[in-house]
C-alpha cells in the first residue's frame, strides 16, 4: 500500500514538475525550439528535407529579431499542442486557429494572419454550406475545420484524416464530396490541380496565432513584440506578398 | 451412445452455435457495460462516451470480418503450401513472402490509395470504401500468418497417418479432410487464436485511412481536449476489455478441441 502510494506520488510529480523554459532560459541557451507540422502548404511544408513556408520564414524572422538560433521540430498536427504542454519545444507555429477550447490549454500570441475555412470540391460538387447537406466531407483530425463542419446542419458524414494532404487525396480520388480546409491552402490546391477542383464558400473566419505553454508570459511578450515590429517595419508585408500576392494580416 | 460420447467429438454443430451465441451475448453485454461506465467518467471521456463505443464496435467488426476471411485465406494457402506440386506451392509461397515481408501499415495504405487506380487502369472500376480497404489488407495479412500456422499443423501430423489412410483406399482429398485436417486443427487453434488477438490490435492501423475505429476515436478526443493521459488510458482499457472477452471464448474453444485428443 505504502509503495503504491509512493509510486503514485512519484508519477504525479513527474506529470507536474515539467517546467516550460522561460524567456531567460531560452535567451541564455541562444536557441529556440519551434514546432510545426510541415504538411500544410503554403504555410509550413517539408520539401524533401527542407522545411519552408510562410510561417516557417516568419518564425525564423522573429527569432532573428530576438537574436536566437532556431531548432525546428515537426510533429503530426494533433500532437502539436499536447507536445507543447510537455515541453518538447518552446512554441508552436502551425496555423492554429484561436478557439476558446484551445485557449484553455495553451496561451496564444497575437494573431499572425487571418483566414477562413473554405469548401473545396470538384466541379458540380457542393460549393455552399447548404449544399453540404447529406454529403461526405473530408477534414484533418484535431482541426477547427472538424468542429465547424460538424456544426453545419444536415451535413452527411465527416471523415477525419491524419493529414490535410490525405484529406485532399480522398477528394481527388472521389471518396468524399468535399474537403474543408484553409482558404489559402485550398487556393494552392486549386492552382496545383488545374481546374479539377474549385473553391466554394467560406464556412467561417478565424484568426491564427502562435501558441506557448500556458503561463509562459515572458516568451509570449517577446514573441508579440517581435511580431508587432515585423508588421510595422515592412518585413511581414514583403513575406506575405511573396507567398500570397496580398497582405494576410488581421485587420481591425 | 453413452452420455460421455459428445466429449469425444471435436465440436458438434449444436455446441458451436451455442459457443457463437455466447460470444455474441458476451460482447453485447461488454458494449453495454462500456457505455454505462464511460458515460460516468469526467470531462474528456464522459461526454464523448458514445464515440468510444462506436469506435470499439468498428474495431470488433473489423476483427471478426477480416478474421473470418483471413481464416479461409490461411487455410487455402496453408494446404497449398504442403502440396507435392511446385506449381501449386509457388503462388502460395509468393503470397506469404509478399505479405509477411511488408508492413501492415503500408499494405493498408496501398489497398486504400493505390489499388483503386491500379484496378481502374485495367478496367475494373471499383471504389473501395475505408471499411473494405481495411478488411482486405487485414484479411490478407492475417491470412499469410495463418497459412504458416496451418502448414505447420499439417506437417505435425505423422506421415504414417497419411500412409495408413491412403493404404485403406482413401483419396488424397479424403485423407486431408477426414484424417489430417481434423488432427491438425487441434494443434493450430492456439496459434490461430494468437493471430486473431494480434489482428484485433493491428486493426488500429486502419485509423490512418480515416476509418473511425477505437484508435481514431481516441485521437479525435485527445486532439480536441489536449488531455492524452485519460484518453489513451481509456483506449487501452477498452482494447484490453475486447481482447479479454475474446480470449475467454477462444479458451473454451481450445479446451473443447483438446478434450478429444487427451
Q: Write the pLDDT tens digit of every residue in A119-175.
A: 999 999 999 999 999 999 999 998 999 989 999 989 999 999 988 989 999 999 999
pLDDT at A1 over 70: no
B99 burial (CB, 10 Å; 0-12 / 13-18 / 19+) is buried
Contact A106 B226 (CB under 8 A): yes
Assign residue A61 the CATH number of its domain: 3.40.190.10
Check CB contact of A201 with chain B, cutoff 8 Å: no
Which residue among B113, B210, B225 sits closest to A160, beta carbon to beta carbon?
A: B210
In a domain, residue A191? The reply is: yes
Best CA proximity match to B201, nearest among B248, B253, B251, B238: B238
Extents of the domains making up chain B: 50-260
pTM, two decimal places: 0.82
Of B113, B127, B220, the CB nearest to A160: B220
Chain A residues touching B210 at Cβ < 8 A: 138, 159-161, 166-167, 170
Nearest residue on chain B to A76, judged by CA atoms? B223
Cβ distance of A106 and B116 shorter than 8 Å? no
Nearest residue in B to A84, CA atom: B226
What count of CB pairs under 8 Å joins A to B?
49
**pLDDT score of A17:** 45
Based on the domain organization, do A153 and A102 belong to the same domain?
no
Taking the Cβ of residue A99 and every Cβ of chain B, the question of whether any pair is shorter than 8 Å is answered with no
Q: What percent of chain A has pLDDT over 70?
A: 92
Write out the three cell numbers for B179: 484424417
Tell me the shortest Cα–Cα distance from B210 to chain A, in angstroms.
Answer: 5
**Mean pLDDT, chain B, as a whole number?**
90
B203-221 per-position pLDDT tens digit: 999 999 989 999 999 998 9
Burial annotation A190-222 (CB, 10 A radius, 16+ → b, else e): beeeeeebbebebbbebbbbbbbbeebebbbeb
User: Is the pLDDT reported for residue B116 higher than 90?
Assistant: no
Instruction: Give me the residue from A160, A173, A175 closest to B216, CB to CB.
Output: A160
Judging contacts by C-beta atoms under 8 Å, the chain A residues touching residue B117 are 173
Q: Are residue A105 and residue A216 in the same domain, yes or no?
A: yes
The CATH superfamily of B50-260 is MetI-like (1.10.3720.10)
Do A217 and A110 share a structural domain?
yes
Quick check: B223 pLDDT over 90? no
| Record: contact A174-B127, CB cut-off 8 A | yes
Average pLDDT over residues B154-181: 92
Residues A213 and A200 in one domain: no
Is A89 found in the same domain as A120?
no
Residues A31, A100, single domain; the answer is yes
Distance of CA B162 to the CA centre of its chain: 29
pLDDT in tens, B156-165: 999 999 999 9
Question: Is A161 touching B (CB cutoff 8 A)?
Answer: yes
Q: How far apart are CA A153 and CA A141, in angstroms?
A: 20
Indicate yes or no: CB of A78 within 8 angstroms of CB of B212. no
Closest-CA residue to A199 (of A184, A214, A213, A210): A184
Residue A14 lies in a domain: no
- Quick check: bond before B85 cis, omega within 30? no
C-alpha cell at B190: 492456439
Domain assignment present for A1? no
> Minimal Cα–Cα distance from B194 to chain A, Å?
29
**Least confident piece of the model among A62-71, A101-110, B220-229:** B220-229
Classify residue A251: in a domain, yes or no.
no
How far is it, in rounded angstroms, from Cα B230 to Cα B222?
9
Searching chain A, which residue's CA lies closest to the CA of residue B205?
A162
- Within a domain: residue A250? no
- Inter-chain residue contact B226 with A175, CB threshold 8 Å: no
Contact residues, chain A, for B222 at CB < 8 Å? 78, 82
Distances (CA, A) of B208 to A169, A176, B122, B205: 13, 16, 27, 6
ipTM of model:
0.72
Q: Does A82 contact B223 at a Cβ distance shorter than 8 Å?
A: yes
Whether A44 and A160 map to the same domain: the answer is no
Q: What is the mean pLDDT of residues A238-246?
A: 94
Residue A17 lies in a domain: no
B 113-172 → A contacts, CB under 8 A = 113, 116-117, 127, 129-130
Cβ contact, residue pair A166, B220, below 8 Å: no
Question: Into how many domains does chain A fold?
Answer: 2
CB-CB neighbours of B21 under 10 Å = 10
Q: What is the rounded CA–CA span in Å between residue A137 and residue A151?
A: 13
Chain A nearest-CA distance from B128, in A, is: 9
* Structural domain span for residue A176: 116-205
With CB atoms and an 8 Å threshold, state whether A142 touches B223: yes
Distance CA A5, CA A152 (A): 48
Instruction: Tell whether A59 and A172 lie within a shared domain.
Output: no
Of chain A, the percentage scoring pLDDT greater than 90 comes to 81
Domain assignment of residue A95, yes or no: yes
* pLDDT (0 to 100) of residue B257: 75
Q: Which chain B residues contact residue A103 at CB under 8 A?
A: none
In a domain, A8, yes or no: no
On whether any CB of chain B is under 8 Å from the CB of A105, the answer is yes
Same domain, yes or no: A89 and A172: no
A51 pLDDT more than 80: yes
- In this predicted structure, the answer to whether residue A207 has a pLDDT above a threshold of 90 is yes
Which chain A residues are closer than 8 Å to B111 by Cβ?
Answer: none
Q: A101 and A226: one domain?
A: yes
Whether residues A172 and A238 share a domain: the answer is: no
**Predicted pLDDT at B6:** 44
Per-residue model confidence (pLDDT) at position A11 = 59
Amino acid at each position: 500500500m505504502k509503495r503504491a502510494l509512493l509510486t503514485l506520488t512519484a508519477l504525479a510529480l513527474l506529470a507536474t514538475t515539467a517546467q516550460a523554459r522561460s524567456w531567460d532560459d531560452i535567451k541564455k541557451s541562444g536557441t529556440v525550439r519551434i514546432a510545426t507540422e510541415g504538411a500544410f502548404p503554403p504555410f509550413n511544408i517539408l520539401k524533401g528535407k527542407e522545411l519552408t513556408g510562410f510561417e516557417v520564414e516568419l518564425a525564423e524572422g522573429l527569432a532573428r529579431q530576438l537574436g536566437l538560433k532556431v531548432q525546428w521540430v515537426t510533429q503530426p498536427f494533433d500532437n502539436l499542442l499536447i507536445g507543447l504542454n510537455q515541453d518538447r519545444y518552446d512554441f508552436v507555429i502551425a496555423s492554429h486557429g484561436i478557439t476558446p477550447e484551445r485557449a484553455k490549454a495553451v496561451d496564444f500570441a497575437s494573431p499572425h494572419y487571418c483566414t477562413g475555412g473554405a469548401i473545396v470540391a470538384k466541379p458540380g460538387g457542393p460549393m455552399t454550406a447548404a449544399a453540404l447537406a447529406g454529403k461526405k466531407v473530408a477534414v484533418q483530425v484535431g482541426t477547427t475545420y472538424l468542429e465547424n463542419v460538424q456544426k453545419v446542419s444536415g451535413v452527411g458524414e465527416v471523415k477525419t484524416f491524419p493529414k490535410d494532404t490525405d484529406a485532399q487525396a480522398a477528394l481527388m480520388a472521389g471518396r468524399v464530396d468535399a474537403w474543408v480546409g484553409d482558404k489559402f491552402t485550398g487556393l494552392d490546391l486549386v492552382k496545383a490541380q488545374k481546374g479539377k477542383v474549385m473553391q466554394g464558400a467560406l464556412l467561417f473566419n478565424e484568426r491564427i496565432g502562435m501558441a506557448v505553454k500556458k503561463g509562459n508570459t515572458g516568451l509570449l511578450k517577446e514573441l508579440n513584440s517581435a511580431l508587432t515590429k515585423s508588421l510595422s517595419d515592412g518585413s511581414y508585408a514583403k513575406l506575405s506578398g511573396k507567398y500570397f500576392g496580398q497582405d494576410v494580416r488581421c485587420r481591425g | 451412445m453413452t452420455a460421455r460420447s459428445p466429449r469425444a467429438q471435436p465440436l458438434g454443430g449444436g455446441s458451436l452455435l451455442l459457443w457463437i451465441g455466447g460470444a455474441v451475448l458476451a460482447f453485447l453485454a461488454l458494449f453495454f457495460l462500456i457505455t454505462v461506465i464511460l458515460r460516468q467518467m469526467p470531462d474528456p471521456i464522459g461526454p464523448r462516451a458514445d464515440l468510444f463505443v462506436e469506435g470499439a464496435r468498428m474495431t470488433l467488426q473489423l476483427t471478426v470480418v477480416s478474421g473470418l476471411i483471413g481464416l479461409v485465406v490461411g487455410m487455402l494457402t496453408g494446404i497449398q503450401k504442403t502440396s507435392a506440386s511446385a506449381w501449386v506451392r509457388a503462388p502460395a509461397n509468393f503470397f506469404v513472402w509478399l505479405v509477411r515481408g511488408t508492413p501492415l501499415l503500408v499494405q493498408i495504405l496501398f489497398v486504400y490509395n493505390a489499388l483503386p487506380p491500379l484496378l481502374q487502369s485495367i478496367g475494373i472500376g471499383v471504389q473501395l470504401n475505408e471499411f473494405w480497404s481495411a478488411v482486405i489488407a487485414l484479411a490478407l495479412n492475417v491470412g499469410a500468418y495463418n497459412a504458416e500456422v496451418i502448414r505447420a499443423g499439417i506437417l505435425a501430423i505423422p506421415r504414417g497417418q497419411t500412409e495408413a489412410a491412403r493404404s485403406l483406399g482413401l483419396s488424397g482429398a479424403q485423407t486431408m479432410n477426414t484424417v489430417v485436417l481434423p488432427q491438425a486443427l487441434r494443434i493450430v487453434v492456439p496459434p490461430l487464436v494468437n493471430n486473431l488477438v494480434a489482428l484485433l490490435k493491428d486493426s488500429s492501423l486502419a485509423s490512418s485511412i480515416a476509418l473511425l475505429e477505437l484508435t481514431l476515436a481516441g485521437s479525435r478526443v485527445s486532439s480536441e481536449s489536449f488531455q492524452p493521459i485519460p484518453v489513451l488510458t481509456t483506449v487501452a482499457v477498452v482494447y484490453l476489455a475486447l481482447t479479454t472477452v475474446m480470449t475467454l471464448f477462444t479458451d473454451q474453444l481450445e479446451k473443447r478441441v483438446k478434450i478429444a485428443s487427451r
